[in-house]
């Protein structure tokens, strides 16, 4: 299988730049980005990116959107050397839409796929200014980045990063009442990021905790996974399989026989 010509199995061209497709449907959007990295010159750039604020209907929109982004960049599917995808946490259906599509693309093309958590993708986008420069009011350099993703439930998925994008905590599901204590674990008033940042900000404000909210264009995480996939070494690709990060165990409700049929 595979359409590769002059490519190694890691999807890294023997010479010349690497083009990666990034997909993010795990964070209340349907987003696609293309990134190009030239290892010879070190030049790295976004080729195209689109995000639609969709919390439903991603299954319909995702692949047409990939086609539109490729067309915008003047490329076709054969030009994609690597794939990157956000693996969650987030809405279960949304993250499976992106993961199933990314795995299907990787399978059919025989080219690699890298999975990145949505939390890391937000942090990476913020640190590298993907989806707009990160200039929240009152930004002070040593402040921790606190990425918050909407769980569609009572709690938030939270993870803290240092200003260089290194994780300070593991991904966690945190109830609103526990958010101030979570934020207090890290030195300095946090910079909030992610689709649940406004909700977390409201909780911190109510508790009188100092914080700032950063704005990031919705294609930021898709750009981040595309950039990470394009620049990854083979070892990094291998260390990031595209397996889902659900955090929450499945709700056990038995389907009525023939449900939906």
Partner 1 sequence: MIVLGIETSCDETACAIVDDTRAIRANVVLSQLDEHRPYGGVVPEVAARAHLHYLDGLIRQALEEAHLDLGQVDAIAATGGPGLIGGVIVGVMTAKAMAAARGLPFVAVNHLEGHALTARLTNDVPFPYLLLLVSGGHCQLLEVEGVGQYRRLGTTIDDAVGEAFDKTAKLLGLGYPGGPLLEKAAQKATNPGRFELPAPMKGRPDCDFSFSGLKTAVRRHVEQLGTPTEADVADLAAAFHHAVGQSLLDRCDRAIKAFKSRHPANEHGGGRHLVVAGGVAANTYLREQLAKLAAKRGLTFTAPPLALCTDNAAMIAWAGLERFRLGQTDGLDFAPRPRWPLDPNAKPMKFAGVKA
Interface positions with partner 1 (CB under 8 A): 1, 3, 57, 59-64, 66-67, 77, 80, 92-93, 96-97, 99-109, 243-244, 246, 250-261
Q: Which is nearer to partner 1, 16 or 64 (CB)?
A: 64
In whole angstroms, how close is the CB of 206 to partner 1 at the nearest point?
32
In whole angstroms, how close is the CB of 98 to partner 1 at the nearest point?
8
Q: Which residues are within 8 A (CB) of 253 and not within 5 positions of it... i.e. 6 or more apart?
A: none
Q: Which is nearer to partner 1, 104 or 133 (CB)?
A: 104
- For 118-155, the DSSP string reads HHHHHHHHHHTTTTS----TT--TTPPEEEEEE-SSSS
In whole angstroms, how close is the CB of 255 to partner 1 at the nearest point?
5
User: Residue 58 — φ and ψ, nearest 5°?
Assistant: -65, -30
In whole angstroms, how close is the CB of 243 to partner 1 at the nearest point?
8
In whole angstroms, how close is the CB of 120 to partner 1 at the nearest point?
20
Report the distance separating Cα 216 and Cα 7, nearest Å: 35
> In the block, which residue shows the tokens 């993010």?
24
Q: Which is nearer to partner 1, 96 or 211 (CB)?
A: 96
Instruction: Confirm if 148 and 192 have CB atoms less than 8 A apart.
Output: yes
Q: Three-state SS for 172?
A: strand
Q: Which is nearer to partner 1, 2 or 133 (CB)?
A: 2
Q: Which is nearer to partner 1, 64 or 138 (CB)?
A: 64
Structure tokens at 146: 């606190």
């Amino acid at each position: 299988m595979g359409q590769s010509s002059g490519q190694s199995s890691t999807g890294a061209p023997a010479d010349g730049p690497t083009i990666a497709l990034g997909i993010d449907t795990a964070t209340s959007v349907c987003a696609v980005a293309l990134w190009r990295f030239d290892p010879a010159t070190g030049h790295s750039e976004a080729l195209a990116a689109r995000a639609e604020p969709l919390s439903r209907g991603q299954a319909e929109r995702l692949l047409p959107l990939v086609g539109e982004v490729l067309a915008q960049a003047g490329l076709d599917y054969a030009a994609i050397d690597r794939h990157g995808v956000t693996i969650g946490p987030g809405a279960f259906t949304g993250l499976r839409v992106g993961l199933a599509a990314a795995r299907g693309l990787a399978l059919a093309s025989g080219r690699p796929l890298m999975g990145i958590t949505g939390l890391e993708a937000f942090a990476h986008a913020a640190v590298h200014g993907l989806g707009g420069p990160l200039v929240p009011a009152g930004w002070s350099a040593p402040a921790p980045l606190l990425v918050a993703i909407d769980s569609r439930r009572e709690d938030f998925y939270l993870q803290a990063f240092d200003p260089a994008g290194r994780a300070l905590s593991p991904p966690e599901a945190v109830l609103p009442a526990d958010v101030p204590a979570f934020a207090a674990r890290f030195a300095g008033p946090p910079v909030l990021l992610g689709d649940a940042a406004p909700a977390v900000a409201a909780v911190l404000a109510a508790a009188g905790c100092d914080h700032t909210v950063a704005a990031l264009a919705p294609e930021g995480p898709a750009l981040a996974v595309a950039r990470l996939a394009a620049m990854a070494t083979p070892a990094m690709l291998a260390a990031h399989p595209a397996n889902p990060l659900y955090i929450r165990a499945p709700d056990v409700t038995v389907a009525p026989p023939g449900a939906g049929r």
